[in-house]
Amino acid sequence: MAGPKYPGFDTLALHAGQSPDPATGSRAVPVYLTTSYVFRDSEHAASLFNMERAGHVYSRISNPTVAVLEERVAALEGGVGAIATASGQAALHLAVATLMDAGSHIVASNSLYGGSHNLLGYTMKRFGIETTFVAPGTPENFAKAIRPSTRLLFGETLGNPGLEVLDVPAVAQLAHGAGLPLLVDATFTTPVLMKPFELGADLLYHSATKFLGGHGTVIGGVLVDSGRFDWEKSGKFPQLTAPYAGFHNMDFEEESGTRAFLLRARREGLRDFGACMAPMTAFQILQGIETLHLRMPRHVENTRKMVQFLAAQAAVEKVVYPELPGHPNHALAQKLLPRGCGAVFTFDLKGGREAGKRFIEALRVFSHLANVGDAKSLVIHPASTTHYRMTDEDLKKAGIGPGTVRLSIGLEDAEDLLEDLGRALKASQK
Amino acid sequence: MNLAVDGRQAYAYTAAHALDAAKPAVVFVHGAGLDHSFWGLQSRYFGYHGRNVLALDLPAHGRSAGPPLATIGEMADWVFRAMDAQQLPKAAIVGHSMGSLVALECAARAPGRVERIALLGTAYPMKVGEAFLEAARVNDQAAYDMETIWGHAPQVPLGGNPNPGMWMYGDTLARLARLAPGVLHNDLRACNGYAGGEAAAAKVKCPVLFILGARDQMTQAKAGLAFAQLLPGAKVVQLAPSGHSMMAESPDATLDALIAFLRA
């Protein structure tokens, strides 16, 4: 049945969250470099503090420029709202800290960005929040690890480093059956390639440092809520469904069932942990988002060419990319990621660590650094950098070989990237 | 707070305050498919500024048990029973959209219990298009899309939300996703079928406020203005930038209009 039409994705990427500035007519999003906002009078001030009126009080809690980014990402993801944070790691921490206390438990995919693994496996453990890591390829692994104290299921839409495709619908169903929300890290896919909320995820976040910003200029994160998880019905989240002495005895779910999570995350998490985003950072990320819908297809197009090229090279033992028939999640990728499996992948060079080093050092266009999701092509050799202290045996446990190379494919001319890779492959085998 | 109305669980938001018989009361009645939280900022304000607040979830909405009530008149009678459950002899009643018709009926049915009424995003008759009704009848997503898109001003998806970081369309869709099948259709049918506006208006004795969104696509402002003609002496406030969801689209202006009216 046909209904009225929503604005398209590309239009939202350019407009959602901002109308021309009423004071100046500025079409571009103004950068509000201000810490605080003048109250009209004492009653207005009190009403803002007590959430009786909408508006800004202090830029750690909200800022007009940052709010544009938050609303825009929420619009692109189909959420009720979002909170921008100082980094992707801060977004993950904010989600965890909002939902649980010491004694709580998380079931997470073991195919995670190393920083997320550190946060959950070591740091949060110091604060009494434990995580069980499970292989994400079998969704039932998540269900088997659930305990009475479990409060969250978590995975990456495309895992790290093996690009395991999270079966979001299956894991979400298992989570909901246990009265739990599913949080996904959607950094590698972006809303251009996957809309996790449409597949059943409840919360998601991005390291906006990567494809959303897209130009390798700023660090940031965005945490988005679908507003679909029923905290009251779950009965496992008194943080959201019982009066909170830390905010005027507010029962966040009672205030709004769809906004409860974001209310507490902003009113407690940003207020107390303080990992907010700077307005200039939000502006830079907004510049990136305005072309996200144009960049991602090009990232994918270039990546497919690199994958195809590398898979045919004698110096390459294997290429790990879900669009290849040999990838264990190939069929799932075709179902969940028909627009592409992103622009980050790994391949294994013959010749181990030394070959990896020679390969990296021979590259001219690819930049050797520890980041992904830039408009420029990037490369790193984990065995000689991020994981250099590990033995080959330990590397294997982490799913990394001595010759594993990770590429993040940018927007350059594909021919130049292919030439660069070809030359470096030759050098690696000398 | 949880109430028992007609032996069924019902819910009313009170802004975390126990009701105090010495204070004046204001009852908020939501629109089709919505719940108490659509009044979030406004109801919270009055709860913290000397009023007993009862922001109701009508049956089958929000936290109140079903089944839904089929007519505006039944809803009005239910509002009185909810007030009875809290020993509230009288109150100002603020209604949005469908809730505005309920507020009107309340003022007509028991003038002694209704001190004043504020009608937001309203029109009479409140006709609902056949396509909208049919989509709602079969619980088609198109009905929720119509409610969402027509429920806001045209510029909302491209403009900023006064509530930092929130996406109004997403919030409305998430609210509607929580509705049991058939509830939206029930509400739309109640609005469409309400034919007692003229008779009710003739019985209204209390002060009346209309708050209309100049860009309302659901109940157009001109229809609201025509409705106001039935209630001589009614005060009308038009919110230039707002659509049908003025509590979210123009929260401060909506609140300021209510403050001025309820304090008068």
| ipTM summary value | 0.96
Percentage of residues in chain B having pLDDT higher than 70: 100
Separation of alpha carbons A199 and A337, rounded Å:
11
**Is residue A363 a contact partner of residue A415, using CB atoms and an 8 Å limit?**
no
Output the pLDDT for position A353: 87
Backbone angles phi, psi at A82, to 5 degrees: -150, 165
Q: Do B160 and A249 touch (CB under 8 A)?
A: no
Q: Do B150 and A4 touch (CB under 8 A)?
A: yes
Q: Do B171 and A81 touch (CB under 8 A)?
A: yes
What's the whole-model pTM score? 0.97
Separation of alpha carbons A15 and A134, rounded Å:
40
Backbone angles phi, psi at A197, to 5 degrees: -65, -35
Q: Which residues pair with A165 in a beta bridge?
A: A158
A79: nearest CB among B35, B62, B167: B167
pLDDT, tens digit, 9 for 90 and up, residues A132-144: 999 999 999 999 9
In this structure, which amino acid lies at residue A170? A
Phi-psi domain of A248 (left: phi exceeds 0; alpha: psi -120 through 50; beta: other): left
Output the pLDDT for position B55: 98
Q: Take residue B75 and report the two structure tokens written for it.
A: 């809803």
Separation of alpha carbons B249 and B204, rounded Å:
29
Handedness of CA A37, A38, A40, A41 (dihedral sign): positive
Q: Take residue B193 and report the two structure tokens written for it.
A: 């079928």
pLDDT, tens digit, 9 for 90 and up, residues B83-121: 999 999 999 999 999 999 999 999 999 999 999 999 999
For residues B130-135, give the mean pLDDT: 97
Output the pLDDT for position A361: 94
Considering only A8-22, A307-321, A383-397, which range has the smallest mean pLDDT? Answer: A383-397
Separation of alpha carbons B28 and B83, rounded Å:
11
Output the pLDDT for position A390: 73
| Mean pLDDT, chain B, integer | 96
**Local structure of A285: helix, strand or coil:** helix
pLDDT, tens digit, 9 for 90 and up, residues A14-35: 999 998 988 899 999 999 999 9
A248: nearest Cα among A237, A261, A264: A264
pLDDT(A88) > 90: yes
Separation of alpha carbons B253 and A21, rounded Å:
19
Q: Take residue B192 and report the two structure tokens written for it.
A: 């469409």
pLDDT band at A338 (very low <50, low <70, confident <90, very high): very high
Residues of chain B neighbouring A70 (CB-CB closer than 8 A): 164-165
pLDDT(A395) > 80: no
Q: Do A52 and B255 touch (CB under 8 A)?
A: yes
Residue B83 C-beta-side C-alpha neighbours within 13 Å: 25
Q: Do A64 and B164 touch (CB under 8 A)?
A: yes
For residues B183-187, give the mean pLDDT: 98
Q: Do A1 and B135 touch (CB under 8 A)?
A: yes
Q: At what angle do helices A414-428 and A292-311 cross, to 10 degrees?
A: 40
**Is residue A231 a contact partner of residue A240, using CB atoms and an 8 Å limit?**
yes
| Mean pLDDT, chain A, integer | 95
pLDDT(A3) > 80: no
User: What's the Cα-to-Cα distance from A21 to each of A132, B32, B85, B189, rounded to whole Å?
Assistant: 48, 33, 48, 41
pLDDT band at A209 (very low <50, low <70, confident <90, very high): very high
Q: Do A256 and B37 touch (CB under 8 A)?
A: yes
Handedness of CA B67, B71, B76, B80 (dihedral sign): negative
Residue B110 C-beta-side C-alpha neighbours within 13 Å: 19
Which residue carries 């209904």 as its tokens?
A3
Separation of alpha carbons A23 and B192, rounded Å:
41
For residues B153-161, give the mean pLDDT: 90
pLDDT(A348) > 90: yes
Considering only A102-106, A177-181, A397-401, B107-111, which range has the smallest mean pLDDT? Answer: A397-401
Q: Residue A421, Cα to own-chain centre: how many angstroms? A: 28
Handedness of CA A417, A420, A425, A426 (dihedral sign): positive
For residues B170-194, give the mean pLDDT: 97
Asked if the C-beta of B81 comes within 8 angstroms of chain A's C-beta atoms, the answer is: no
Closest chain B C-alpha to A239 CA, distance in angstroms: 16
Q: Take residue B146 and report the two structure tokens written for it.
A: 């119509």
Output the pLDDT for position B71: 98
Separation of alpha carbons A213 and A282, rounded Å:
9
Work out the angle at residue A332's Cα, subtended by the Cα atoms of residues A331 and A336, and round it to the nearest 5 degrees: 125
Asked if the C-beta of B155 comes within 8 angstroms of chain A's C-beta atoms, the answer is: yes
First to last CA, chain B: 28
A257: nearest CB among B146, B167, B178: B178
**Is residue A153 a contact partner of residue A175, using CB atoms and an 8 Å limit?**
yes
